[in-house]
Structure 1
Amino acid sequence: MEILNDRDEKLILEYPCSWSYKLIAGEREALEKAIKDVIDERSHKLTHSKNSKGGKYVSMNLDLLVHNEDDRNFIYEALKAHQNIKMVL
């Protein structure tokens, strides 16, 4: 799998590999529910990143093993589409 960055350099990924998604939501509990909805009981690590200045949003990092490009993209799209998640990076 090749990913282009803004300098058109290619990143080569070898699967399975660890992947990190940065998630932004209105509250931690809603974000945790969204993760459970998307990845169910799949092994993962969730760590707090930061809260917005006004406390309206919480940012967290989700790290897990992805098995292939389709798996990585499916999780990204499912998280992005979840009503409890504002943004996925």
Structure 2
Amino acid sequence: MDSKTAIIYPCLWEYRLITDKPQGLLDELPGLLAPLKYQVCTKNKSAQGKYTSLQLSLVVSSKQEQHALFEKLSNHALVKWVL
């Protein structure tokens, strides 16, 4: 029996973006994600205040799109980590 939960696309997907320049990243997201519609909100700061996490929510239409967005976000200069 497969213990994985099936993901049915399209679906709402969330990425947690960790950055040390939150405003810069917020300014870049419209160009990076166009024409996709998304919501983003600031979540937490690290204990020393150096890093901020942003929660990015958007609808992905396929597993391929989900992975492509992960790669695109991971490779952006202002993103330290994507969870």
Which TM-score applies when normalising by structure 2? 0.88
- 1 CA distance for matches of 2:74 and 2:20? 14
Q: Which amino acid aligns with 1:69?
A: K
**Greater strand proportion:** 1
Q: Which amino acid aligns with 1:11?
A: T
> Among 34, 40, 48, which residue is 1:54 paired with?
48
Extract unaligned runs of 5+ from structure 1: 1-7
The share of aligned pairs that are identical, in percent, is 29
User: How many residue pairs are counted as aligned between the two chains?
Assistant: 82
1:70 aligns with 2:74: no
> Among 7, 29, 33, which residue is 1:35 paired with?
29
1:29, distance to aligned residue in structure 2 (A): 1.4
Aligned-CA RMSD value:
1.5
Extract unaligned runs of 5+ from structure 2: none
Cα deviation 1:4-24 (Å, max 9, x = unaligned) = xxxx73121000000000000
3-state secondary structure, aligned to 1:61: strand
